[in-house]
Amino acid sequence: MPASLFPPYEDLLRILPEIVLTIAGTLVMVLEPALRPERKRLLGGIAIAGLLVALWGTAVANLFRGPAFHQMVVVDGFATFFRALVIVVGILAVLCSIHYLQRERPDSGEYYALVLFSVVGQSVMAAANELIMIFIGLEISSIATYVLAGYLRDDRRNNESAIKYFLLGSFATAFLLYGIAWIYGAAGTTNLVEIRRVLSTPELAPPRFLVGVSAALMFVGFAFKVSAAPFQVWAPDVYQGAPAPVTAFMSAGPKAAAFAIFLRVYMTAFEPISNRWEPVVWLSALATMFVGNFAALLQNNIKRLLAYSSIAHAGYVMVAVSAHSEIGTAAAMFYLAAYAFMNVGAFAVVTHFARQGEKYVDVDDLAGLGHRQPVTAALFSIFLLSLIGIPLTGGFFGKFYIFKAALEAKLYWLTVIGLLNSAVAAYYYLRILVVMYFHEPGEAAQTVSPVAPGVKIALWASAAGTLLLGIFPSVILDFADRSAALMK
Amino acid sequence: MPEGYVPFFIFVAAAVGFVLTMLLVAKILRPSSPFATKLEAYECGIRAATTARGRYAVRYYIIAILFVIFDVETVFLFPWAVRYKVLGWFGVVEVAVFLAILIVGYIWAYKKGALEWV
Amino acid sequence: MRHLWLIPALPFAGFLLNGIFGRRASKAVVNAIAVGSVALSFLWVVKTLLSLGGMETPHAERYFTWIESGILNVGFELAVDRLTAVMLLVVTGVGLLIHIYSTGYMAHEGGYYRFFAYMNLFMFFMLILVMANNYLLMFVGWEGVGLCSYLLIGFFFLRRSASTAANKAFIVNRIGDFGFALAMFLMVVQFGTLDFAGIYPAAAEMPAEQTAGILTAIALLLFVGATGKSAQLPLYVWLPDAMEGPTPVSALIHAATMVTAGVYMVARSSALFLQAPLAMDVVAIVGLLTAVMAATIGLTQFDIKKVFAYSTVSQLGYMVLAVGVGAFGAGIFHLMTHAFFKALLFLGAGSVIHALSGEQDLRAMGGLRKKIPLTFATLLCAAVAIAGVPPFSGFFSKDEILLAAHHHAPWMYWVGVITAAMTAFYVFRAIFMAFFGDSRGHHHPHESPPSMILPLAVLALLSLAGGFIPVPRFLEPLFPAEGAHHDFALVAVSVGAGLLGIGLAWLFYVSKPGLADSAAARLGALYRLVYNKYFVDEIYDATVVRPLIGGSRAVLWRGVDAGVIDGAVNGIAQRSRDLGILLRMFQSGNIRSYAAWVLLGSVFVLAVLGVMGGLR
């Protein structure tokens, strides 16, 4: 008997990225107290190395597709896609952070460990095949992110951000957990495929009321994490208050992972009751787009503006979810990848430009950046144009595929409203471009320093990703398509 | 509403009803003569020095958390120790991984000075 | 895999390197990168072609799926067959020579790195254009070379005339591109693909009653694209103005390579055109008319580059005539020899201009024969080649075209012969005015540096001997010869016409210099009409440009834009801001009210999903 207790060798390979990331994070924690402040950037290097190895581990795990650890996790194309995505976001975030941390809080290197642990959680979420694993992944990711949001603990805005995120996040997670309890009570299992089987077998099907309540409670938890209306209220305050590189990270990675579990739970477990959750997602998508885009119109703080924009983009992805089809899922996946690049890129510019104590974070501060640092401004323009959805950028194809999926699902009104919303969105992104290129350089632009090497790499990589997805969309889309088709 | 849950709701109703009934009965039966000392937190007569909502050093919190962590560690070790022979090498490896993670945390906390009472 | 992608990728790498780092690099480094990348590309072409051998079937390499949408599947796919092989050698070979030449010619200009970055980018797009294995990728190259042409015509962007010329070239080409795009849409509808390998067999198998409509439409629309790029009637007007660009640009883009893209495209689409006889007739007639008209204008111009520009339009007319009468091989043959001698003419003209520090007017030249003998000798080689003097290159290719035209319709042959006489006349007119007689300017001419003379010499050699390259026979598997046999009398007539033109030029401009002016005076109105290029620019201005601008201003700007659109936009913008203000009020910053929102939201979701759904 004892020999059989050991998990099969393949199972360990299937969670290789998580193992690698955990070891790297632990290594950072052990080394951290031993390093002098000026050498803490070494930890950033370790983090990047760990993430790169984890990326390789993702590819290795992808060779051993299938369930592992008694169906608790599953490696399929969908999992690989999101694992790779959150790891890449992690790399970009660390690149943005090295210089920022040296400037703002040189004495402390746990930051990198927290990023790694958060990525571990997201990676677990990507591969989770079971509600408890989903919950654990979500908590690992969230707790690390709560701490990151308040990392500069002497900064009042950081504190505000962290405490709000923590309290509201825990509140929402409670809903999720409660929903898990209900479905376990109703279906007698937490395995997504099993739940689906139970729900779609008439003899076994539990009362619809119980399933409905469970789906609703879990929706609250997921919608909160992806900042979809009406659970988006936390996002602007938290994004604005957190350190800029952390905002870059948490608006891309955890959001993508949350959408991953959202899609997996609703496309797999709750698939048999899709006619009941579709209207809810529909309404939420609608409200999310409106709230995000229209509130962004009036913002002058770039971080807050991008926070609302992030809400709006969650709304577009919700459109893809409510299409409830394979191509909808693929479109959501593609969009999240494109969004990760363009959003992290935009926040990288903010990180670079904000300077000591995040002094310059208003749109007007950017005046004349186009003259002072044409390359940075040009890269920023790429990200903004992609956020608008101009062709040749990933944002364009993302929107294109989402609305195509929506049309094929006969969601005509949602498509029309979504398109109108993206027209509104063009206004506030273009305003940044106008300020950057057509206003006289102000104090902020005149004192701007050269871009730090890490941020520079992150900027170019994000721009390359954004353009790659815009020019050769099929590279990613093909993979997403195949993964979405295989998910069931 | 499915019939299978009827007993459950009867149970809930009975639980709530019992508490309410008891409180009501007590209210009717007991004599009522409140005075200041009787309403204090420690009815034995020791005066509360300050309000319970006051601030206290964050170190208590850290110590408490560390205590809980190592407390839970023992809780996990106990069942393993009991079933040591059955679990065999698998159990040893699992516990080693578990302890390794905790020890790293301990080293980190120690190095960071979390255990020093300044 | 032969790694065909390296051929365009090398110049592209040169573009990136020079474009990004060129500003800080020294001229030697910029030269090395720009010339080196093209040289490597040329060598890779040679190596690839040698290793491919006979190329009886196209060698295609597909790298990835580029666009997949519905029925449409477009790959990034490059291919080499015999036609592409000829184009590749011409483009990279002549391109390399002109790059070398430019290092000398541009040595004293500002924006040195920018020039070479654009040139390399042009090479990249041109190579994509000729190697593409589907229409969409070809269109990418097609648009890309247009962009580079725009950038390079406007290279001296501080000069107003240069930026105007650049705009003109770009806008006129848009009209043609519109035709190309429409043709592609029709092809997608008709064939469901844009791959050459998918379209041509399908077109060949189409029954005759179907081809008349759709294939004729596709062919004519493609030809609209060709008239834009290859400067045919009525869209040729941009090419003479394009001479505002630096002379190497005129040689590379506006003589040897880009402008021949239209001819290449028609030849490539021969399977479509052969199924649409009506379209073929249109092509032939447009080509012939362009050839005559441009030649007459060339007779009267005094700017040396303008003379050669109209000559290019005229020669392109010959090529289009050739493909129009079904002599695709002859058209491509002339494309190649023309690339040699016309590049040489422009580079020689550039050498003259360089020697005279920027003077372009023939009337201010004269007597340069002794001062810059090397330039004179090379230009003379080009002139005898274009005039069709046997046994030089132009003779063979032009002869092929004229014979094919005669086989198709004898009157076309005679018009072609008259044009040939005019061609010989205007080219030698330019030579005689520049190099013979007495100096009419106040310059101190100096011979050009070796970096400019060397390419001239190589091109001179090619102009003289290029006719012995048996291009039509090489292309025979693709374009079967129509059986036009060589008729000695016809050949003699066309050669005689060329010699007559040279003789007349000698008479007018060397032996009796006054004769030209008096002849011009006697022709009076006709001369003025031709001298002013038939007033085509003015006519276009009056009939198309002004009504368009005026109409846009009155109706679209004042009426639609300012009234309807601005009004609507401003109204919507105001409402949007109101909504934004409303939404901002929810964002109080108070954490307890946020929690209340979450709670309220969950009650709502529960109500919709749980209870309402549960009751159903």
Strand (E) or helix (H) holding C68: strand C59-69
Burial of A53 (0-12, 13-18, 19+ CB in 10 A): middle
Q: Which amino acid is at C203?
A: A
Token digits of residue C386: 């274009």
What is the C-alpha separation between A62 and A60, in angstroms, rounded? 5
pLDDT attached to residue C556: 66
Instruction: Count the domains in chain A.
Output: 1
pLDDT attached to residue C283: 92
Contact list, A228 vs chain C (CB under 8 Å)? none
Long-range contacts from A100-103, C-beta under 8 angstroms, 24+ separation = A100/A243, A100/A244, A100/A245, A100/A351, A101/A40, A101/A41, A101/A44, A102/A40, A102/A41, A103/A356
CB A226, CB A258: distance < 8 Å: yes
- The β-bridge partners of A14 are none
Handedness of CA A202, A206, A209, A212 (dihedral sign): negative
Partner-chain residue, chosen from A2, A29, A207, that has the shortest CB–CB distance to B87:
A2
pLDDT attached to residue C515: 72
Query: Is 80 exceeded by the pLDDT of residue A340?
Result: yes
The stretch A166-185 carries a mean pLDDT of 93
Partner-chain contact B108 A33, CB within 8 Å: yes
Domain positions in chain B are 58-112
Position of tokens 């040749």? A392
Q: Does A30 touch chain B (CB under 8 A)?
A: yes
Compute the mean pLDDT over every residue in chain B, rounded to the nearest whole number.
84
pLDDT attached to residue A125: 95
- Asked if the structure places residue A227 within a domain, the reply is yes
C615, C540, C554, C416: which is closest to A208 by C-alpha?
A: C615
Position of tokens 């474009």? C19
Partner-chain contact A2 B2, CB within 8 Å: no
Partner-chain contact A5 B88, CB within 8 Å: yes
Report the gap between the CA of B88 and the closest CA in chain A (Å). 6
Contact list, C579 vs chain A (CB under 8 Å)? 290, 294
Q: Does C600 touch chain A (CB under 8 A)?
A: yes
Band of residue C491 on the pLDDT scale cut at 50, 70, 90: confident
Strands C59-69 and C72-80 turn out to be antiparallel
* Per-residue model confidence as pLDDT tens digits over C279-290: 888 999 999 999
Q: Does A478 touch chain C (CB under 8 A)?
A: yes
pLDDT attached to residue A18: 95
**Is the model more confident about C359 or about B96?**
B96
Domain B58-112 has CATH 1.20.58.1610: yes
Cis-peptide into B34, omega within 30 deg: no
Contact list, B80 vs chain A (CB under 8 Å)? none
Chains with ≥3 CB–CB distances under 8 Å to B: A
- Asked if the structure places residue A1 within a domain, the reply is no
Contact list, B102 vs chain A (CB under 8 Å)? none
Partner-chain contact B90 A26, CB within 8 Å: no
Partner-chain contact A295 C614, CB within 8 Å: no
* Per-residue model confidence as pLDDT tens digits over C189-241: 888 888 888 888 888 888 777 767 788 888 999 999 999 898 888 888 888 88
The stretch B68-72 carries a mean pLDDT of 86
What is the C-alpha separation between C294 and C317, in angstroms, rounded? 9
A23, A49, A15, A51: which is closest to A126 by C-alpha?
A: A15
Residues 6+ apart with CB under 8 A from C193: C72, C73, C134, C187, C199
pLDDT attached to residue A123: 96
Band of residue B7 on the pLDDT scale cut at 50, 70, 90: confident
CB A359, CB A434: distance < 8 Å: no
pLDDT attached to residue C558: 64
Partner-chain residue, chosen from B88, B101, B111, that has the shortest CB–CB distance to A2:
B88
Partner-chain contact B108 A32, CB within 8 Å: yes
Mean pLDDT lowest among A10-14, A73-77, C263-267, C495-499: C495-499
The stretch A260-266 carries a mean pLDDT of 94
Residues 6+ apart with CB under 8 A from C451: C100, C101, C103, C104
C137, C570, C598: best to mutate for the A interface, most A CBs within 10 A: C598
Band of residue C442 on the pLDDT scale cut at 50, 70, 90: low
Report the gap between the CA of C601 and the closest CA in chain A (Å). 6
Position of tokens 């305003």? A431
Partner-chain contact A30 B104, CB within 8 Å: yes
CB A395, CB A310: distance < 8 Å: no
Partner-chain contact A34 B111, CB within 8 Å: yes
Compute the mean pLDDT over every residue in chain C, rounded to the nearest whole number.
84
Report the gap between the CA of A165 and the closest CA in chain C (Å). 10
The stretch B43-56 carries a mean pLDDT of 75
C327, C336, C321: which is closest to C393 by C-alpha?
A: C336
Q: What is the 3-state secondary structure (H, E, C) of A104-145?
A: HCCCCCHHHHHHHHHHHHHHHHHHECEHHHHHHHHHHHHHHH
- The β-bridge partners of C80 are C59
Query: Is 60 exceeded by the pLDDT of residue B1?
Result: no
Contact list, B90 vs chain A (CB under 8 Å)? 2, 5-6
Contact list, A283 vs chain C (CB under 8 Å)? 608
pLDDT attached to residue A406: 92
pLDDT attached to residue A1: 42
Report the gap between the CA of C586 and the closest CA in chain A (Å). 8
- Asked if the structure places residue A372 within a domain, the reply is yes
Partner-chain contact C580 A291, CB within 8 Å: no
Cis-peptide into C450, omega within 30 deg: no
Query: Is 50 exceeded by the pLDDT of residue C475?
Result: yes
Compute the mean pLDDT over every residue in chain A, rounded to the nearest whole number.
91
Contact list, B93 vs chain A (CB under 8 Å)? 6
Partner-chain contact B104 A29, CB within 8 Å: yes
- Domain residue limits at A313: 14-487
Chains with ≥3 CB–CB distances under 8 Å to C: A
pLDDT attached to residue C390: 80
Contact list, A6 vs chain B (CB under 8 Å)? 90, 93
Q: Which amino acid is at A323?
A: A
Report the gap between the CA of B38 and the closest CA in chain A (Å). 37
What is the C-alpha separation between A258 and A318, in angstroms, rounded? 12
- The β-bridge partners of A486 are none
Q: Does A297 touch chain C (CB under 8 A)?
A: yes
Strand (E) or helix (H) holding C603: helix C591-605
CA dist list (Å): C539 to A9, C45, C313: 81, 45, 19
Q: Does A236 touch chain C (CB under 8 A)?
A: yes
What is the C-alpha separation between B9 and B65, in angstroms, rounded? 39
A233, A277, A472: best to mutate for the C interface, most C CBs within 10 A: A233
The stretch A35-50 carries a mean pLDDT of 90
Report the gap between the CA of A221 and the closest CA in chain C (Å). 9
Residues 6+ apart with CB under 8 A from B96: none
Position of tokens 């364009």? A396
Q: Does A233 touch chain C (CB under 8 A)?
A: yes
The stretch C161-176 carries a mean pLDDT of 86
Partner-chain contact A168 C595, CB within 8 Å: yes
Contact list, C20 vs chain A (CB under 8 Å)? none
- Asked if the structure places residue A295 within a domain, the reply is yes
Q: Does A219 touch chain C (CB under 8 A)?
A: yes
Q: Does residue A229 sit in helix, strand or coil?
A: coil
What is the C-alpha separation between A173 and A177, in angstroms, rounded? 6
Token digits of residue C177: 């591109």
* Per-residue model confidence as pLDDT tens digits over C212-221: 778 888 899 9
Partner-chain residue, chosen from B2, B90, B111, that has the shortest CB–CB distance to A6:
B90
- Asked if the structure places residue A400 within a domain, the reply is yes
The nearest alpha carbon in chain C to A207 belongs to C614
Q: Does A277 touch chain C (CB under 8 A)?
A: yes
pLDDT attached to residue A488: 60
Chain A from 168 to 207: CB within 8 A of any B CB: 207
Q: What is the ipTM of this complex?
A: 0.84
The nearest alpha carbon in chain A to B100 belongs to A26
What is the C-alpha separation between A84 and A476, in angstroms, rounded? 12
Partner-chain residue, chosen from A163, A280, A298, that has the shortest CB–CB distance to C577:
A298
